[in-house]
Amino acid sequence: MACIMDGNGRWAQQRGLERTEGHSAGEAAITATVQAAHDMGIKWLTLFAFSTENWRRPQPEVDYLMRFNQRVIRNNAPRWRSMGMRMRYLGALDAPVPDFLREDIMQVEELTAANTGMTLTTAFNHGGRRDLVNAVRSLIGTGITAEDVNEKTLAQHMQLPDLPDVDLLIRTSGEHRLSNFLLWQMAYAEMYFSPVLWPDFRAEHLARAVASYHNRQRRYGTASTEALPEQRATTPLTLH
């Protein structure tokens, strides 16, 4: 499952607050969503925290978001670690990501690397197109011939090769677009667009999205009205 956490700025504007107040309020939605996903037995959750395009925002907001992401780690990582979660980051950690945030990210990845519970991936300084370009460059660097290039060989050169395809994408705030998020992994994702602004998103909203997913028929290009048994059996979205 993947989530585009959208609507923080509009949430703040509706209340006459600075945009940064919306980001701050979004932390409660993050913790609620992670906890609910864990309780539902979801094994893979990816949150879109900061895109390659977000660097174009006003510098004070960008600076705030760097500190905000550090705050989320320090406030929540110890509890998530104790719950057996593995925490990873998808995206480039080179400049202009500040040193203080890079160090915290690398530390939490190292401390939770051996955990076998839910994998919580944060897409930070992430761009789907850039990921594909980097994967192609890496693949070319192996000296592979054109005839040997296929989906499997390219997938092996993605930044996180074990990150599974997305079964369910949730985007809040009523927007209907991918925003350059997990383009390779999103090929057959079911999409759920919620009108709820991200700071107001809670466990009950997640449950509605998952229930909608379970009521859909996934045919993967086939004409059958019944999903193939192996497709039903492999879905990681299970409610307990």
Q: 196: how many CB neighbours lie within 10 A of its CB?
A: 19
Catalytic residue check, 54: yes
d(CA 230, CA 25): 41
Q: Which residue intervals of 98-150 are DSSP H helices?
A: 99-112, 128-141
Please identify which of the residues 6, 76, 125, 131 carries the catalytic annotation. 6
> Which of 117, 122, 4, 10 lies closest to 72, judged by CA?
122
- The answer to whether the CB of 145 falls within 8 A of the CB of 168 is no
Instruction: Calculate Rg over the CA atoms of the chain.
Output: 18
The catalytic position among 39, 54, 115, 165 is: 54
**Apex 68 CA angle, 237 and 207, nearest 5:** 20
**Six-digit token string for 207:** 């449950």
Task: Name the residue type at position 158.
Answer: M
Whole-angstrom distance, CA of residue 5 vs CA of residue 46: 11
Active site residue 180: no
For the annotated catalytic residues, the residue numbers are: 6, 54
